[in-house]
């Protein structure tokens, strides 16, 4: 505000002086704000305390120039001559940053680390000497009524300041040679910012050397403070990057606004705006900066107010969204994710919300009339959500559903990738295990079949009834050995088009159906690209497994059908349902529900389907007590 008063009552100062004074004020304010933030962050990295002190001294140095322009010349000279503490703080920071007091370091660096207090004392002595000296005075410079220049002991002051600055950068050079990663990147950023600062501050010395030149580079000093601190902390404190991302658009907006104001003022006379052309450019720039600052301060309150006006009653905030996402990411299965999502959105909405997760290829579940629901579907480009029953709700409630649906779709993608990685790891371990098991099985099969053959031959003279009993058990043992070899052996496929209807027709005479019905419902001419021998083993195992539970049961039935694509083939039977406790372990080896089973039938089915790039799973939601669904990869069914 006082700059407006000065521009109104003292026209001796031109625009250039006002701009210089404004930039010094901006630099001082920026340095103080950054220093305060660094001090708060210093509990994470103690070296930031020294960098905070550097920022304070930078603010006082710029305030000294403002004081001189305000007529407080003695105070301004004292503040400017206090500049030796600025590089001393930076030297302290650089020492702590590259050498926190442990590990190997040169003797001179260890000495600096131990005697930082002595450096501050020497710097204070230099300041005191230059104050008494005297070390500086003010002289007219162009449009400036007074500008600081060094004299007498002031040259010792500036020489000491430069020497300490060089020493600080030597410390950084050593750090650059020993450190890697983010620490090294921070040091490189310090060098870049230091070079920029040296370029900007050089013009400050010109008047002391008798060069009558306006210090244009000093107008950019605010950028030096920001770039130095940001370059240091951006690799150490992630919040700095978040702040920079939010602040950069506003900085660009301010620069564009200043440029537009200067352009409009230049052509004001041409446009017939004579009153605007008479307004000093500094006044226009200051007004624009105040407008940008006011907009920045009011941005969050206005966003909150507009959100409440447009979406009344909505209670969404960053903390809630983060809590939702963390809870959803904690789910380890599709059922857990569906249950957890329903609980979260139901609690938020105050009424039941049904969550449906639809994998690719699954039928779309019907929507319930009048019920709220979120359907999350897997598509070619990832997971997408759809709101069901939300059309008549208020915009705020619908916004809540859309935000939650978006988080749910993201969580579905994360869970899918997590499960895929877990499955890939399981297959890798299983493959390693099967290699070992295959070698062992081949040896054991040879060793076991020899005595079994001897036993079989020894039963020739036994009574028929006893011989039949022993032969049945020998066949059972041989079948188990065959299953073990099949499960543990190498799975080499020879895929070719297979007529599924013809394959099932050829298998039908091989089974003892014992009054069990058998029917198929397949698309006409359905062919699968698969290994016919392995595919026959899959259906043989599944049909044999089903028959063991439905033979001689009234109305027993086995039915095989497929969808139009031929990729989803289902084997149903109306035998007893499988106990829920067995669902998770059903396809693991040596898990069997029937007496006399090897416990490898379903495990072999899964291994064959895995080799084809497909899968097998138990379904209990299709109206049959037991359904095994074979899912083949895309392009397998024609």
pLDDT at 125: 93
Mean predicted confidence (pLDDT) in 495-513: 86
Mean predicted confidence (pLDDT) in 201-227: 81
Indicate the SS3 state at residue 10.
Answer: coil
Cα distances (Å, whole numbers) of residue 447 to 43, 352, 495, 615: 71, 63, 33, 34
Q: Which residues of 216-303 form beta strands (DSSP E)?
A: none
Q: Which of 61-65, 201-205, 241-245, 503-507 has the lowest mean pLDDT?
A: 241-245
Residue 28 has pLDDT above 60, yes or no: yes
Cα distances (Å, whole numbers) of residue 384 to 321, 334, 374, 405, 474: 18, 15, 10, 8, 56
DSSP string, 244-290: HHHHHHHHHHHHHHHHHHHHHHHTTTTTT-HHHHTS-HHHHHHHHHH
pLDDT at 2: 39
Q: Which residues of 109-191 form beta strands (DSSP E)?
A: 136-141, 144-150
Residue 438 has pLDDT above 50, yes or no: yes
Residue 7 has pLDDT above 50, yes or no: no
DSSP state of 637: B
pLDDT at 109: 84
Q: What percent of the chain has pLDDT over 70?
A: 80
Could you give the CA distance from residue 83 to residue 90 in angstroms, rounded to a whole number? 12
Domain ranges of the chain: 14-236, 241-304, 318-421, 496-631
Q: Residue 147: what are its φ and ψ, rounded to 5°? A: -140, 140
Which is more confidently placed, 355 or 593? 355
* H-only helix segments in 525-628: 532-550, 601-611
* Average pLDDT of the chain, as a whole number: 79
Answer whether 14-236 and 496-631 agree in fold.
Answer: no
Which is more confidently placed, 446 or 389? 389
Q: Smallest Cα–Cα separation from 51: which of 239, 229, 195, 179? A: 229
Q: Which of 3-17, 78-92, 214-228, 547-561 has the lowest mean pLDDT?
A: 3-17
pLDDT at 229: 73
Cα distances (Å, whole numbers) of residue 198 to 171, 318, 408, 623: 17, 42, 52, 80
Go through the chain and tell me how many residues it has: 638
pLDDT at 52: 87
Q: Residue 302: what are its φ and ψ, rounded to 5°? A: -70, -40
Instruction: Quick: pLDDT tens for 517-528.
Output: 999 988 888 888
Q: Which two structure tokens, joined as six digits, stand for 485?
A: 């070899």
**CATH no., domain 14-236:** 1.20.1070.10
DSSP state of 362: S
Mean predicted confidence (pLDDT) in 566-572: 89
Instruction: Quick: pLDDT tens for 180-199.
Output: 877 788 888 888 888 888 88
Could you give the CA distance from residue 520 to residue 504 in angstroms, rounded to a whole number? 9
CA angle 624/626/632 to nearest 5° reads 100
Residue 4 has pLDDT above 50, yes or no: no
pLDDT at 163: 92
Which residues are CB-neighbours of 73 under 8 A, at least 6 positions away?
67, 138, 146
pLDDT at 300: 73
Instruction: Quick: pLDDT tens for 527-549.
Output: 888 888 888 888 888 888 888 88
Q: Which of 33-37, 150-154, 232-236, 599-603 has the lowest mean pLDDT?
A: 232-236
Q: Which of 29-43, 143-157, 549-563, 570-584 has the lowest mean pLDDT?
A: 29-43
**CATH no., domain 496-631:** 3.30.565.10
Structure confidence at residue 8 as a pLDDT band (50, 70, 90): very low
Structure confidence at residue 378 as a pLDDT band (50, 70, 90): confident
Residue 228 has pLDDT above 90, yes or no: no
Q: Which two structure tokens, joined as six digits, stand for 237?
A: 């404190």
Question: Buried (b) or exposed (e) across 371-389, using 16+ Cβ within 10 A?
Answer: ebbbbbbbeeeebebbbbb
HSE-CB of 147 using CA atoms within 13 angstroms = 22
Mean predicted confidence (pLDDT) in 232-242: 59
In angstroms, the first-to-last Cα distance of the chain is 80
């Amino acid at each position: 505000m006082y700059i407006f008063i000065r521009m109104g009552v003292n026209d001796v100062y031109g625009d250039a002086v006002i701009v210089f004074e404004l930039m010094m004020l901006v630099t001082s304010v920026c340095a103080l704000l950054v220093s305060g933030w660094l001090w708060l962050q210093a509990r994470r990295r103690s070296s930031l305390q020294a960098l905070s002190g550097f920022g304070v001294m930078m603010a006082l140095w710029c305030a000294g120039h403002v004081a001189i322009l305000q007529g407080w010349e003695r105070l301004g000279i004292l503040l400017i001559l206090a500049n030796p503490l600025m590089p001393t703080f930076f030297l302290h920071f650089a020492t702590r940053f590259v050498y926190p007091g442990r590990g190997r370091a040169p003797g001179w660096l260890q000495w600096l680390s131990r005697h930082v207090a002595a450096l501050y004392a020497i710097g204070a002595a230099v300041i005191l000497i230059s104050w008494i000296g005297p070390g500086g005075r003010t002289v007219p410079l162009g449009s400036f009524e007074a500008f600081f220049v060094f004299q007498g002991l002031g040259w010792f002051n500036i020489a000491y300041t430069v020497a300490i600055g060089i020493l600080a950068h030597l410390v950084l050079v050593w750090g650059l040679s020993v450190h890697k990663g983010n620490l090294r990147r921070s040091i490189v950023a310090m060098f870049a910012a230091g070079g920029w600062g040296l370029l900007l501050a050089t013009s400050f010395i010109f008047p002391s050397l008798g060069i009558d030149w306006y210090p244009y580079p000093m107008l950019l000093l605010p950028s030096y403070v920001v770039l130095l601190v940001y370059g240091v902390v951006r690799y150490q404190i992630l919040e700095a990057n978040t702040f920079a991302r939010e602040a950069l658009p506003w900085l660009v907006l301010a620069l564009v606004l200043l440029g537009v104001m200067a352009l409009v003022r230049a052509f004001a006379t041409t446009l017939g705006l004579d009153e605007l052309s008479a307004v000093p450019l500094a006044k226009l720039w200051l007004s624009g900066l105040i407008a940008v600052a006011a907009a920045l301060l009011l941005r969050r309150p206005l966003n909150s107010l507009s959100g409440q006006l447009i979406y009344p009653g909505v209670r969404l905030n960053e903390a809630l969204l983060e809590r939702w996402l963390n809870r959803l990411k904690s789910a380890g299965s599709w059922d857990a994710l569906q249950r957890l999502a329903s609980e979260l959105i139901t609690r938020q909405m105050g009424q039941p919300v049904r969550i449906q997760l639809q994998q690719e290829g699954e039928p779309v579940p019907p929507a319930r009339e009048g019920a709220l629901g979120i359907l999350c579907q897997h598509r070619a480009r990832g997971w997408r959500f759809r709101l069901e029953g939300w059309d008549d709700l208020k915009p705020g409630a619908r916004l809540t559903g859309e935000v939650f649906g978006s988080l749910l779709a993201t969580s579905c993608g994360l869970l899918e990738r997590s499960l895929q990685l877990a499955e890939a790891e399981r297959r890798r371990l299983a493959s390693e295990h099967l290699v070992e098991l295959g070698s062992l099985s081949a040896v054991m099969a040879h060793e076991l079949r020899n005595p079994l053959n001897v036993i079989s031959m020894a039963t020739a003279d036994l009574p028929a009834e006893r011989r039949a009993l022993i032969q049945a058990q020998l066949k059972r043992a041989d079948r188990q050995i065959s299953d073990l070899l099949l499960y543990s052996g190498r799975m080499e496929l020879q895929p070719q088009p297979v007529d599924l209807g013809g394959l099932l027709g050829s298998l039908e005479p091989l089974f003892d159906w014992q009054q069990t019905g058998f029917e198929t419902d397949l698309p006409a001419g359905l062919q699968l690209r698969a290994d016919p021998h392995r595919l026959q083993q899959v259906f043989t195992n599944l049909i044999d497994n089903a028959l063991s539970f439905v033979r001689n049961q009234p109305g027993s039935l086995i039915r095989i059908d497929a969808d139009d694509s031929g990729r989803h083939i289902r084997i149903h039977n109306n035998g007893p349902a499988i106990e829920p406790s067995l669902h998770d372990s059903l396809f693991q080896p040596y898990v069997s529900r029937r007496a006399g089973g090897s416990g490898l039938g379903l495990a072999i089915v899964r291994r064959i389907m895995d080799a084809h790039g497909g899968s097998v799973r138990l379904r209990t939601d299709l109206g049959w007590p037991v359904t095994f669904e074979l899912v083949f990869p895309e392009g397998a069914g024609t």
